[in-house]
Amino acid sequence: MRTLIGTTAETTSPSEPARARVGRTGRLARRGWLVLFLVACAQLAFCGAAGATAAKNSAPVEAAVKPDIAPTAFELQLLYADRTWNWKNGAAYFGMDRRLHAWTKGEDSPAVGEGRWLVTEKGKMCMELAWRSKTYSTKPQRTCYSHRVEKGKIEQRKDPDGTWYDFKHAKDDPADEHQKFEAGNTKGAQFDQARKLIDNKS
């Protein structure tokens, strides 16, 4: 079993070893391709950032069928850590320390979510957030997304039964969900502003 610092690993059941041995060599070869793919994506992202600088829930993770090729916890971390995921009415920042901050504009008032994020060896990324606004607060709630490699791209779906959609191609595609990610905590000011507004009792 692979052990990674700051990640949550999931183990296979006793009934899986025979199946795991079948085609192991092929899967390892394909996994090597996946690692190279993700490293190339990370290098492109870092180069782009450097160029721009120069120019200017607590419940267990739900069980799910593991795809034939799923990104490892380390590979998923390359896609999420120290990045901001921009949503239609807000955003979430995935800290290097696994802290997670999010905010939404809401229909009547803003809300902020604080918690943590984690990745697993079965291709999952989970967010655990406790949300609050001036009118409500929630206990930590867990939302998970599964990932798989399919036809040269990474696909994502919301668990437990969401539809698979394109998350990231080897070469950036405008339709990719990962295009909504920005390097760094780019919406930190909006999060702080919303939190101050919510925490202001007057």
Q: Is residue 32 part of a domain?
A: yes
Q: Is residue 31 part of a domain?
A: yes
Cα-Cα-Cα-Cα dihedral sign, residues 104, 48, 178, 172: positive
Q: Is residue 171 part of a domain?
A: yes
Q: Is residue 4 part of a domain?
A: no
Q: Is residue 2 part of a domain?
A: no
Q: What distance in Å separates the CA atoms of residue 140 and residue 171, rounded to the nearest whole number?
A: 36
Q: Is residue 6 part of a domain?
A: no
User: CA torsion angle for 45, 46, 51, 55 (degrees, to 10)?
Assistant: 100
pLDDT tens figures, 61-108: 433 444 568 999 999 999 999 999 999 999 999 999 999 999 998 766
pLDDT score at 151: 86
Q: Could you list the residue range(s) of the whole structural domain that residue 55 is in?
A: 13-202
Q: Is residue 8 part of a domain?
A: no
Q: Is residue 5 part of a domain?
A: no
Residue 168: name the closest of 76, 64, 81 by CA.
76
* Number of other residues whose CB lies within 10 A of the CB of residue 40: 12
pLDDT tens figures, 127-169: 999 999 988 999 999 999 999 998 889 999 999 999 999 999 9
User: What single-letter amino acid sits at 39?
Assistant: V
SS3 track for 4-50: CCCCCCCCCCCCCHHHHHCCHHHHHHHHHHHHHHHHHHHHHHHHHHH
Contact in structure between 92 and 85 (CB atoms under 8 Å): yes
Residue 155: name the closest of 141, 139, 166, 140 by CA.
166
Number of domains making up the chain: 1
Q: Does the pLDDT of residue 197 top 60, yes or no?
A: yes
Percent pLDDT > 90 in the chain is 52
Residue 101, phi-psi category: left (phi > 0), alpha (psi -120 to 50), beta (remainder): beta
Residue 70: name the closest of 145, 174, 178 by CA.
145
